[in-house]
Chain A
Amino acid sequence: MTMVYEKSKGLTDVPFHYCPGCTHGVIHKLVAESLVELGVLDDTIGVAPVGCSVLAYKYFNCDMQEAAHGRAPAVATGIKRVHPDKVVFSYQGDGDLASIGAGEIVHVAHRAEKITTIFVNNAIYGMTGGQMAPTTLVGQKTTTSPLGRDEALSGKPIRISEMLATIDGAKFVERVSVDTPANIRKAKKAIKRAFECQIKGEGFAIVEVLSTCPTNWGLTPVKALDWLKDNMIPYYPLGNFRNFEEGK
């Protein structure tokens, strides 16, 4: 029998705990496949966040450290400075990276720290039960914005990729989505490129991945994908904001 598909060696055999329809699993797979295809898995150290992907240290088949909420870029900095020849990445959600960890992500980019960040943006705090995130869309209902996000009260959602693209040290910045097979393929390319950016010693690289949260959005997995396409992509346009060859 010919093997046409197998689970990436970049993932352990621990079953994911993610909710049905959550796209974290897909994104984990893309990261794991990229590390294997680049031949760096055994020389990689990952940093897991606080949030839904807090247990990522159990899933990636490489050395891992578990960081405090928002601090993954600082932890990754410490690791990278000790092991400049290894690949170091942080995997963070939008509550973690765009809110409590906004300072750390800005400065890791500012230092052109040679790490790669996978930033999963699902416009909500998933793990704590669906509270408003800095990325929550105006009008979007959450448990702490029960009438919908009020711009007058909470401002507009933050666009991290656009903000980081203004920083010289951020050598690769791209926003992708995993709502369709075509977009998943583009996401894979961007993630791989973000690791290449680090391997080539260019500087900081980040891929923002638009993701769904069917459980806390109160939608079926399929409707959640539609909601992402109809609501998130118009506010968070997909595309490359910085590429290290063109950016030189």
Chain B
Amino acid sequence: MSKVLMKGNEAVGAAAIKAGCKYFFGYPITPSSEIPEYMSKALPEAGGVFLQAESEVAAINMVYGAGGAGARVMTASSSPGISLKQEGITYIAGAEVPCVIVNMMRGGPGLGSIQPGQADYFQSTRGGGNGDYRTLCYAPSSIQEIVDLVILGFDKADYYRNPVLIVADGMIGQMMEAVEFKDPAPIDLPEKDWATTGTGGKRQPNVVNSLFLQAEELQAHNDRLEKKYKLIEENEVLYEAYGLEEAEVVLVAYGTTSRIVKTAMKQAEAKGIKVGIIRPITLWPFPHDVFKTIGNNAKGILTVEMSAGQMIDDVKIAVEGRLPVYFNGTQGGMVPTPASVLADIEKIAGGTK
């Protein structure tokens, strides 16, 4: 298929439909409102159902119902809206219901701003809701990548019976790029024989549930979830990395920020500084192991985020104290400039920081 020029938010909707998503429940919020707008027209045309819910809380609980009933289902929102959805997300994780949730992040805390941000890293990777659970988190850095990851996300959600988060900053949602809708690689998916479809008098009732009142039962349930999360950690880590062996400075960034640091990287290399980059594509599971391949020339690591410093915690865990970890961050919709990143690279390379 040839490439088409699309806005990120609309491409998310088109990708979901390409992946066989038939149901969308959402509530408008800037900067992700184009997703429900797109779905309200395109999904009925594709034989699906779009429903505007009365709140984000209702929307995510509709997702829980539809996913539990066996459908491919999606919702999308932006930071404060995702906070409201956390109640549903923890139930969905606990009841092991597959679904895809898109967060076009804006600045926070509170109402924050409508400008792009990356300050929901903790919320995404640590589980914004209650209890021991994990959500597979994909962090795209281009429109093409968000399309690919949305399509992949539906398969992974079904495969693991787990909610999948697409964590992008508002910039990805709002900008336009050329994109191609490729057919996903075929994957063997288990039948949804656990879903609430009506027994038809042919089987025992199915129950979709996250309540286990007996301590032993809940422990066993949590142990089983933990095993699933370990499997995801072993098999689903995605990242882009290069230049690590020779690097004096290693940059770590995801989403839009990773594109900015690549510009700074080129400028630094023109000045003779060897720079490597690690771009996590999955925020959880985090690509810890790739940090072990950083060579002995490295003087330090620079983490760049549109936040006050959140992913940096995972970077420090991954580095295990081997190297100093520095931070360059902006908030409120401010975007890090290549110049400020370059200045930090030079400081770290010169050992003056």
Q: Which residues of A contact B (CB under 8 A)?
A: 12, 42-45, 47, 54-55, 57-58, 60-68, 71, 74-83, 86, 103-104, 106-107, 110
Contact = CB atoms under 8 A, between A and B. Distances in A.
Contacts of B53: 74, 107
A12 B204 CA distance: 10
Given A65-B64, A76-B65, A78-B62, 19 more contacts: A43-B200, A45-B198, A62-B199, A63-B198, A63-B206, A64-B205, A64-B206, A65-B95, A65-B196, A66-B95, A66-B210, A67-B64, A67-B91, A75-B65, A77-B62, A78-B65, A78-B73, A82-B70, A103-B58
Contact of B61 (A54, A58, A74, A106): A74
Contact of B209 (A65, A78, A83, A107): A65
A12 B58 CA distance: 30
B201 interface: yes
B51 interface: yes
B65 A47 contact: yes
Contacts of B66: 78-79, 81-82
B92 to A, nearest CB: 10
A173 to B, nearest CB: 19
B113 to A, nearest CB: 27
A146 to B, nearest CB: 29
A66 B209 contact: yes
Interface of B: 22-23, 25, 49, 51, 53-55, 57-59, 61-71, 73, 87-88, 91, 95, 196-202, 205-211
A128 to B, nearest CB: 14
B58 A74 contact: yes
B149 to A, nearest CB: 24
A81 B49 contact: yes
B76 to A, nearest CB: 15
Contacts of A61: 205
Given A54-B211, A57-B207, A75 B198 contact: no
Given A45-B69, A78-B68, A78-B69, A66 B58 contact: no
A12 B205 CA distance: 10
B201 A45 contact: no
16 contacts: A57-B207, A60-B205, A62-B198, A62-B205, A65-B69, A65-B95, A65-B196, A65-B208, A77-B65, A78-B23, A79-B68, A80-B65, A86-B197, A103-B55, A104-B54, A104-B61
A68 B88 contact: yes
A43 B70 CA distance: 15
Contacts of A107: 53-54, 58
A27 to B, nearest CB: 19
A103 B198 contact: no
A160 B209 CA distance: 28
Contact of A81 (B51, B196, B198): B51
A77 B64 CA distance: 10
